[in-house]
A = this chain, B = another copy of it.
Amino acid sequence: MLMAMAFDEIEFRHLRALMAVAEEGSFIGAADLLGFSQAAISQQIAGLESAVGQRLFDRPGGPRPVTLTPAGRLLLKHAGAVANRMATAEQEMTDLASGTAGRLTIGTYQSVSVQLLPALVREMRDAAPDLGIHLVEHDYNNELVEDLLAGEIDVAFLTGPYEDSRLAISELGVDPFVVVLPTGGPLAQLHRGKTFPTRELLGVPMVGQHQGGDQSTIDKALRTTGVTPDDVFRSNDNGAVQGMVRAGMGPAIMPLLAVDTSDPGIAVRSLDPPLEPRTILIAVPAGTTPMPAASRFMRIAKTECRKRLARAAR
């Protein structure tokens, strides 16, 4: 009570000395365990004792080992806990730095989720097996951006063109709209070439999605080429859409990335004139350092998309 009781002048150095002395049973042992001179340890312990206001070791003198006082035992317990905590902190920091552990939340939207994202996630898993990867899907850019800025998600795919000064955005490539036809149907028979005249869709009943992110873009784009969309069936499930096309309900306009091209029942054609293509963007919050895992994921996405996606024609 009379002492200054300056508990907060304690530094880790002191705790390390405490632990070393307690373990070695001597100041000298602690000294060369820590690579200091004996005097240094003596001073560190003395400083610690004055900081806490009580003796921490009994020094019997002679060759007998120093022993902890009750106060010493108490403080040592806490020192050990603190040291542990710092060790796990170090572990987690390196994990975080290497992007190999922790939790990465990725924001995504429909068409990206189908083929592109699974491939990227698989690659990320290989690169960082201990990383927990979580996905959040939204229909619209602004929902994704909102979550991104709120810190709910660490990195997000967006639909381009899109601008937001609060985000750091990279373009991954373009995802052209294609027409999907039933293999045996008359339209597929008629246009066996690579492209499909967009105007042929005029008046044709089509299969589409419910009014959402993709579909709005498609409808708008179709109208600019003079075609008024006329959907006989709508589903947000890509498999269902493709199934309907296969069953002959009509053609569908889909982002290429959303199409399961391995399906033998359907044919995929580019449109001529093409619909204004969407670009695939990937974004993190600007100004703030992203999680290394997020950066890493972006890098993977970029290199992977360079192979898979067409580059934007500038």
In the complex, which residues of chain B have a beta carbon less than 8 angstroms from the beta carbon of A191? none
Residues of B close to A88: CB separation below 8 A: 78
Q: How far is the CB of A294 from chain B (nearest CB, A)?
A: 8
Would B69 and A289 count as touching, CB distance under 8 A? yes
Q: How many angstroms between the C-alpha atoms of A287 and B289 in the bound complex?
A: 57
A60 CB contact (under 8 Å) in B16, B69, B287, B291: B287
Tell me the count of chain A residues lying within 8 A, CB to CB, of chain B: 41
> What residues of chain B lie closer than 8 Å to A60, measured between beta carbons?
287
B78–A86 contact, CB under 8 A? Answer: yes
- Say yes or no: A85-B82 contact (C-beta < 8 A), given A74-B96, A287-B60: yes
* In contact, A96 and B82 (Cβ under 8 angstroms): no
Q: In the complex, A288→B70 CA distance in Å? A: 9
Whole-angstrom CA separation of A289 from B290 in the bound complex: 53
Copies of the chain in the assembly: 2
Interface string of A75-105 (1 = CB under 8 A from B): 1001001100110111011101110000000
The reply on A53 being an interface residue by CB < 8 A is yes
Among the stretches A7-15, A19-27, A111-119, A252-260, the one at the interface with B is: A7-15
Q: Answer yes or no: A234 CB below 8 A from chain B CBs.
A: no
Mask of A257-291 contacts with B, CB within 8 angstroms, 1/0: 00000000000000000000000000000011111
Contact B52 A93 (CB under 8 A): yes
Residue of B nearest to A7 (CB): B90
Write out the residue numbers on chain B whose beta carbons fall within 8 Å of the beta carbon of A81: 85
Q: Is A211 an interface residue (CB 8 A)?
A: no
Q: Nearest Cβ in chain B — how far from A104, in angstroms?
A: 10
CB <8 Å contact, A55 and B289: yes
Cα distance, A58 to B75, chains bound together (Å): 36
**8 A-B interface contacts by CB (under 8 A):** A7-B90, A8-B12, A8-B16, A70-B291, A71-B97, A78-B85, A82-B86, A85-B85
CB within 8 Å of B: which residues of A?
1, 5, 7-8, 10-13, 16, 52-55, 58, 60, 67, 69-71, 74-75, 78, 81-82, 85-86, 88-90, 92-94, 96-98, 287-292
